[in-house]
Amino acid sequence: MSINRPEWIRAAHELLAFYIDAGVDVAISETSIDRFAGMSVSEAGPLDADPRPIAPEAREHAVAPRTLRPQPATDRPASMAAAPTAPEAALMAARETARRADTLEALRGLMEIFEGCALKTTAKRLVFADGNPKARVMFVGEAPGREEDLEGLPFVGRAGQLLNRMMAAIELDRGSAYIANIIPWRPPGNRTPTPQEAAICLPFILRQIELADPDILVCLGGPSAMALLGVKDGILKTRGRWFSYQTGRREIRAIATLHPAYLLRQPLQKRLAWRDFLAIRRALAN
């Protein structure tokens, strides 16, 4: 049964609204897909062929359809022909780039021109850090979202507003704390970063922590705790426990707590996060 045009438009609008509500805002993947690879021109068929059968008496008057012609490789942009960086090479490049930075500003500048992570090609901008780099406490989350990608600052959306209130409850703010993420570029559609992406970005946050050299490191959420503290348990088992963390210069105290985005979905768990923040306040007082 065919549908008329108004119904088709309404259905398309409803589908787009569903995608937006689900967090989908890009229609690309990490690598391009050549769906005609390995197919001959005859197999691919005409570009604008009509699937409806043509009556025999009308065939002699039918216009020959326009067929696909393979594009010469020399006519394609260089960006399409370039092979992606191998994961091992990208990881080595990230480590070498991070080691070259002797200040936080230098690290930020080197990350701006780093090309080894595919997330950079889909993100609008680098989300490096916010707050006071000389603060005694540093908060590290997992990855930026849509609002963070637009502003270039971590934790500025709903989760960031909750984090601000949580910090204010223990007399902290963005002027007395330093905030960053494991992943500095937003994954498309806010998807979970792949292990490969996390591994490539890890040298940057390790160097960032080393250069900031805080007294206390706070891991916001399970992915941050796993990456920085090496824990295997879930965040509900890990939160509230103190760990020793080597900044590269000295040993500091580290603690894991629940991510503000998780607390927005599970508000009853705020009581657990409150206990963790009270422990952070006691540690700062001592």
pLDDT in tens, 17-52: 776 666 666 666 555 566 566 555 445 444 444 444
| 57 domain residue, yes or no | no
The pLDDT assigned to 37 comes to 63
From residue 62, how far is each of 43, 45, 50, 51, 195 by CA, in Å?
21, 17, 11, 14, 54
Give percent of the chain above pLDDT 90. Answer: 68
Average pLDDT over residues 42-70: 47
Overall average pLDDT of the 77-92 stretch = 64
What is the pLDDT, as a whole number, of residue 86? 82
User: How many whole angstroms separate alpha carbon 75 and alpha carbon 84?
Assistant: 19
Identify whether 64 is part of a domain. Answer: no
* pLDDT tens sequence across 94-119: 999 999 999 999 999 999 999 999 99
SS3 content of the chain, % helix, strand, coil (to 5): 45, 10, 40
Cα 180 from Cα 212, distance rounded (Å):
11
190 pLDDT higher than 90:
yes
Give the pLDDT confidence of 231-258 residue by residue, as tens digits: 999 999 999 999 999 998 999 999 999 9
* pLDDT tops 60 at residue 174: yes
Reply yes or no on whether the pLDDT at 59 is more than 50: no
Q: What is the pLDDT at residue 4?
A: 53
With respect to residue 159, please indicate whether it lies within any of the assigned structural domains. yes
Our count of domains for the chain comes to 1
Query: What is the pTM (predicted TM-score) of this model?
Result: 0.71
The pLDDT, as a whole number, for residue 34 is 64
65 domain-assigned: no
Domain extent, residue 273, equals: 87-285
**The two structure tokens encoding residue 216:** 């206390």
- E strand map for 197-282: 216-220, 242-246, 251-257
Q: Assess if residue 172 is contained within a domain.
A: yes
Any idea how long the chain is?
A: 286
DSSP assignment letter at 256? E
For residue 280, tell me if it sits in a domain: yes
Question: pLDDT digit string (tens) for 253-271?
Answer: 999 999 999 999 999 999 9
Say if strands 130-131 and 242-246 run parallel, antiparallel, or are unpaired. unpaired
Q: Which residue has the higher pLDDT, 61 or 232?
A: 232
Residue 204, pLDDT above cutoff 70: yes
In a domain, 81, yes or no: no
Query: Is 168 within the bounds of a domain?
Result: yes
What CATH number did the domain enclosing 247 receive?
3.40.470.10
